[in-house]
Amino acid sequence: MAENRMEKIVALCKRRGFIFQSSEIYGGLNGAWDYGPLGAELKRNLKDAWWKAMTQWRDDILGLDGSILMNRAVWKASGHEATFSDPMIDCKTCQGRFRADQVASTPCPQKPSKMVTACGGELTEARQFNLMFKTYVGPVEDDRNLTYLRPETAQAMFVQFKNVLEVSRKKLPFGIAQIGKAFRNEINPRNFTFRSREFEQMEVEFFVRPSEGKAWLEKWLTDRIAWYESIGLPRKKIQVYDVPAKDRAFYSQGTYDLLYEFPFGAEELEGIAYRTDYDLKQHQAASGKPLEYFDEETREKFIPHVVEPSAGVDRTVLALICEAYTEEGVTDEKGNQETRVVLRFHPRIAPVKAGIFPLLKNKPDLVEKARALAADLRKHFPVFYDEAGAIGRRYRRQDEVGTPFGITVDFETLEGAKEGPLAGRKDTVTLRHRDSMQQERLAISDLLPRLTAALG
């Protein structure tokens, strides 16, 4: 069932232009994905919602847009060069390479019905494989010019801590927020976009007094769950995993993973880690530049502690699509039973906010009015104008991509409403609600305030 559901979601993503395989015409590139027209809008809406909640709506977090390429010294000091690795196992029989901790759930490339542990292939001992992509800065490809594509956005926020502090004149507690690409040469990318080699992160480094670290970890846990709820992921589908000390980074004094119940199992969307003063301390020691904070009240100098909520953009997009995907039995205009596929996105993150339809395409007055309405609303949010096919089909096409509202210009728009509170009034339309399929009559002049309020 779950596999089937996931297959349908992947097919819908391609069919309707949410997500395509990267370099598809050349056979693709494993672990890389392109977002199509609707996927790009969805992703932007998600990132905007996060950015607003983290920066615009609070005055204790500031934004940063750091570079992807950084001095190699950053990755030495952070510990990534020495330890950012996964255990890897080779199969001597098929030459496949697998993550050692996932072999029991990875199908054999030659006998896909069996897992790598059960296919009979001869496996090597596990060895560590560093996940950072190497690259060279400048024309000479030697060790002096080596660096890496960043495997997380976090480090730019640590190394710019002092600059941001100075320009903003903030006092503790305060944070730095960043959204951006990260790259990891995952041994086995899997579950569609869930584990990719190129992906985006939304991270906050929140700097606090050492005595307040634990309390802030708890506060961030509550805030982050509430944020996922605000974009349409219900609380009951989010699991909180309190990572035991033995599985945490050695410097962490507490880490919560937020897992979403995907069709392929409950998997991590975000990690919220209390990283203590590890990162700033490492960079201070390696760079020789002071990264301390001077507390004017107590006259103390110390390295702040950090709580880091770190979320994946692509994983959240996938969770939103999985959550929204619904199939339901409905009866069409002719009384036939059919399956309606609906993406029940929260209006705030839906890629297109309203579909705009003239009832008939061969009636110039209807078309002109509908086009004018689309041009007007387009200034405020993305709309989709569609005049092709039966109106029921047009509604279904928008249901399938999660458009929350359908607006139809019909003869009553031109001649006056036939009944109801707007009877006799011209310039009214039908407003159809995606989830309930209920329709109501509304004055065109009331559309914008009504929709804007619903879009939050």
Residues that bind ligand GAP (CB under 6 A): 152, 154, 184, 186, 195-196, 199, 201, 203, 268-271, 308, 310-312, 314-315
Residue 267 neighbours by CB distance under 10 Å: 17
Between residues 99 and 184, which has the closer beta carbon with respect to ligand GAP? 184
CB of 305: closest distance to ligand GAP in angstroms? 15
Judged by beta carbon, residue 321 or residue 354, the one nearer ligand GAP is 321
Measured from the CB of residue 165, what is the shortest distance to ligand GAP in angstroms?
20
Closest CA to 321 of 43, 92, 99, 74: 43
Shortest spacing between CB 234 and ligand GAP, in angstroms: 19
Q: How far is the CB of 203 from ligand GAP (least distance, A)?
A: 6
Residue nearest to ligand GAP (CB): 312
- The count of other CB atoms within 10 Å of the CB of residue 80 is 19
Task: Please report how close the Cβ of residue 321 comes to ligand GAP at its closest, in angstroms.
Answer: 14
**Closer CB to ligand GAP, 196 or 430, in the complex:** 196
- Nearer to ligand GAP (CB atom), residue 186 or residue 399: 186
CA-nearest of 178, 183, 185, 179 to 198 is: 183
Give CA 218 to chain center in angstroms. 23
For ligand GAP, the closer CB: 132 or 401: 132
Dig out the tokens for 212 from the structure. 């307040």
The CB-of-205 to ligand GAP minimum distance in angstroms stands at: 8
β-pairing, 428-433 vs 238-242, is: unpaired
Please state the closest distance from residue 441 (CB atom) to ligand GAP, in A. 44
Spatial distance between the Cα atoms of 435 and 212, rounded to a whole number of angstroms:
44
**Would you say 305 or 353 has its CB closer to ligand GAP?**
305
Closest to 2 in 3D by CA, of 191, 190, 258, 229: 191
The residue (of 131 and 455) whose beta carbon lies closer to ligand GAP is 131
Contacts of 17 (CB under 8 A, 6+ apart): 36, 37, 38, 39
- Which residues face 433 on adjacent strands? 405
Q: What are the structure tokens assigned to 24, written together?
A: 């598809």
- Which C-beta is closer to ligand GAP: that of 204 or that of 451? 204
Token pair, residue 317, equals 């997009």
Nearest-approach distance from CB 187 to ligand GAP, in angstroms = 10
Task: Single out the residue of 79, 44, 20, 32 nearest to residue 184, CA to CA.
Answer: 32
**Smallest Cα–Cα separation from 177: which of 43, 293, 310?**
310
Of 90 and 268, which CB lies nearer to ligand GAP in the complex structure? 268
The structure tokens 């041009």 sit at 375
Cα angle 348, 350, 355; round to 5: 115
Instruction: List the beta bridge partners of residue 115.
Output: 107
Supply the minimum distance, in Å, between the C-beta of residue 249 and ligand GAP: 9
